Structure formats: C-alpha cells, structure tokens
Amino acid sequence: MTDVRAGSRSDARSPAAYEMVLAHIEDGLTRGRWRPGDRLPPERELAAQLGASRQAVREAIRVLQAQGVIRSQVGTGSESGTVVVPAPARALGRVLSLHLAVDSFPVGDVTEARVMLERFSADLAARRRSASDLLRMDAELDAMDADLDPFAFSEADIAFHVAIASAGGNRLVGELTRAIRESVRGVIVGAMQREEDWPGLRVRLRAEHRGIHAALSDGDGGLAADRIEAHIRAFHGRV
C-alpha cells in the first residue's frame, strides 16, 4: 500500500491519480455520503486519505466544478470550501448533448431513442397539459409560420418538441429530449439546407406539428404519440 501511495504522489499530473480521486468523490455522491449543501473534505485531507497528490485532488475538483455539481471557494468564511450544489437540469443536458454529439451514434439509434422518449412525452402531455402549455407550443408554431431559414426553423422546432416534453411534467425526460435534439442539430439543419424544395418541406413540417398540437389539445395521447412518431421517422428517413 505504501508503494502505491508513493507512486501516486510522485506523479502529480498522472491521469490515473486524478481519476482515482474523481471516482472516490463520485462514489460518495452516488451513495449519498455527500448531499447538496455538504462540504467535501479539504484537499489536504482527501489527498492523505487516498494517497494522492493535492494536484490530483484539484484536477478532480475542477472536473466536478465544470459539471456543475460542486462549488469551490477559497477562504475561511462560511462560503469557503468545496460544497456540493444541486446541479441545474440544463447542466445534465449540456453534458449529455456533447457526449451524444462526439460519440457519433448512428442516425438509426438516435431515431429510436427520439421515438421512445417523444411518444412517452406526447402521451403524458395529452393528459397533463395546461392551457399555458398549449399556448407555449402554439407560440412556437406561429414562429414557424414565418419564412424562416433552416437554422431559425430548427430553433423553433426544438422549442416545440421540448415544450411537449415539459407539458408532461417529467423534467428528466424534458432534458433528455433537449439533449438529443441539440446533439443532432447540425445534422438536421444540414439536411434542411440541402433540401432542394425547402419551402415545400417547411410547409409539410408545419402541418405535421399542427397535427400533433391538435391531438394534444384534444387530450388524445395515443393519436399524439402516433403523429409524433410518424413525424420523427419521416424526417429522419430523409436524413
């Protein structure tokens, strides 16, 4: 054990050293050892416990700060130290969308994931949607009625689909929906830009969105789910 610790201290920037610290902290968070508002042990204490360098501890802390799950502040006051914070849902979405984008998942896999999530969202939204939810969706549909270019249309399109997920009341599903859409934004916009009859495609997409909205307004979850699946598969088929 002594030799292992000495090896960790001898290479402060060793990827294995900071990853070991990171794994230890992540394990504590997932097991509930530390909850939002709790302070992590000081750098010196963590380094001693794990036989790692303080630099390795700092690197692990930086990773967790970038992910938005801890806040680290130097000093001696009540706000000092490394504190676990409740991560905003958007932080999860940003991390997931980046991973989805760089991992280059096949379009077919993305299509199936979207269908699974958005069918669930549509059915849930049909039962739980409020008048304000429908107005929010309608506002995005109105925005799409303008002669938008592919990028601007895609922005309103994403907002419409996320609004459906939000109307279902499941925050995690909403963030997963947003993350998947944002991860393939470039592919979708590229397909729109390559479309020879972009105005015609835009009209068709508007009509499909209006059909989904109508089913949600009527509270028909099965029809809304069927329409959103057909919409997703038709467009991804073109991609």
42 vs 11, 73, 90, CA distance in Å?
Answer: 20, 11, 28
Task: Find the helix or strand (DSSP H, E) in which 231 lies.
Answer: helix 221-238
List the domain boundaries for the chain: 2-84, 89-238
Kindly give the interhelix angle for 43-50 and 15-30, rounded to the nearest 10 degrees.
100
Cβ-proximal residues to 194 (8 Å cutoff; 6+ apart), any chain: none
Strands 70-73 and 81-84: antiparallel
Of 81-85, 86-90, 117-121, which gets the smallest average pLDDT? 86-90
Confirm whether 2-84 and 89-238 share one CATH topology. Answer: no
CATH class (in words) of the domain with range 2-84? mainly alpha
Instruction: Say yes or no to pLDDT of 10 above 50.
Output: no
CATH class of 89-238: mainly alpha
Residue 14 — pLDDT band, cuts 50, 70, 90? low
Q: Which candidate, 45, 34, 100, 43, places its Cα nearest to that of 69? A: 34
**pLDDT score for 185:** 82
- For 71, the enclosing helix (H) or strand (E) is strand 70-73
C-alpha span between 238 and 234 (Å, rounded) = 7
Tell me the average pLDDT of the chain.
Answer: 85
173 pLDDT tier (thresholds 50, 70, 90)? confident
Question: What is the reported pTM?
Answer: 0.69
Quick one: average pLDDT of 119-133? 95
Instruction: Tell me if residue 83 falls in helix, strand or coil.
Output: strand
At residue 90 the predicted structure's pLDDT band, cuts being 50, 70 and 90, is: low
